[in-house]
Amino acid sequence: MTTRIIQTGSDSSANPIIASPTVASSSVSGLTAARNYVFKIDVNNGVNTTSKKVYLIEYSPAPSIVLGSAGFRIATPYGLVSGNPKPYGTKQ
């Protein structure tokens, strides 16, 4: 049985390195950019070949947490509320 792992979908600035592209289990390094990486795994038993795509999403690091003067988080995912809202029941 033979195995082959290749990168199939990403732009040219991404340069992942598959440690052992001819074994069934391998590690990948070089995922330095936040994007979707697509790998194709082919397995052949001498007669038949089957292929599967594996999708890997590399996220950018989370932004640092910023607390407002009242102690509320103003970074994502909560957002920043600015202004001075009117008390309930008054016209805006």
Q: Where do the structural domains in the chain lie, given as residue ranges?
A: 1-82
Mean pLDDT of the 33-52 span: 89
Concatenated DSSP letters of 33-70: SSEEEEEEEEEE-SS-EEEEEEEEEEPPPPPPP-B-TT
Q: What is the pTM of this model?
A: 0.59
Q: What is the pLDDT of residues 3-12, one digit of tens each?
A: 898 888 766 5
Residue 38 predicted with pLDDT over 70: yes
Residues 27 and 41: their CA atoms lie apart, in Å, by: 13
Residues 69 and 65: their CA atoms lie apart, in Å, by: 13
Q: What's residue 91's pLDDT? A: 59
| The amino acid at 83 | G
Q: What is the separation of C-alpha 40 from the centre of its chain, rounded to a whole number of angstroms?
A: 17
Where is average pLDDT lowest: 3-7, 28-32, 59-63, 71-75?
71-75
